[in-house]
Amino acid sequence: MRYPLLVFDWDGTLIDSAPTIVACIQAACRDLGLPVPDDARASHVIGLGLQDALAYAIPGLPLHDYGRMVERYRKHFLARDPEIPLFPGAEAMLAGLRDRGHTLAIATGKSRAGRARALDNTGLRHLFAASRCADQCASKPAPDMLCELIEELGTNAVDTLMIGDTVHDLQMAARAGVRAVAVSHGAHPRGDLVALAPLACLDNIDELTRWLAQNA
């Protein structure tokens, strides 16, 4: 076993939520009469903590409007959250990796409440040994989530692999000294991911499953 600890991003990696997140950011902006970011700008923030995401998606948003924007975004997202599907094959892949002996963890830009809701909605809680969220430590691309998971689970960077769909995931891994694999079915363009030199950039869960079986 090359990488005993496998750390997965959530949105856009295991669950097909990127289009919903983009639509909810845009809807919240329209509710408040704010400039509406295009799809590329809104999708770039996926994986970041909410404060960092808003600062990028809506440049110049006054601090006193953050609370209203968060409230509107959450209202739209919570209405859609229970219906967001896992990518086909994701549950079987995770169960197979766990049964093979890997320890699985999550590093996500969600809050702890959002992570708990997502795990309950999908029924995947039992597959993961630990997780880190954006309201627990510094958000991606800082290395803190990975460093804390490695310490909690008693392993090291060399034995850890990060799997994600954004440049934020790959940058976090590099800063933590962890190797990474990208999936291109999520939030960020394939070219942006490949430019950061992951071990591989896979197009879907089936490709990821095969790669992990052969290389992890």
pLDDT score recorded for residue 100: 97
pLDDT tens digits for 28-78? 999 999 999 999 999 988 888 777 888 888 888 888 888 899 899 999 999
Active site residues: 9, 11
Buried b vs exposed e over 4-38: b needs ≥16 C-beta within 10 Å? Answer: ebbbbbbbbbbbbbbebbbebbbbbbeeeebeebe
Structure-token match 């859609």, residue found: 80
pLDDT score recorded for residue 75: 94
Residue 139 backbone dihedrals phi, psi, to 5 degrees = -80, 165
pLDDT score recorded for residue 102: 98
- The model carries a pTM of 0.93
Percent of the chain with pLDDT strictly greater than 90: 84
pLDDT score recorded for residue 45: 86
What's the burial of 83, exposed, middle or buried (CB within 10 Å: 0-12/13-18/19+)? Answer: exposed
Residues of the chain scoring pLDDT < 50: none
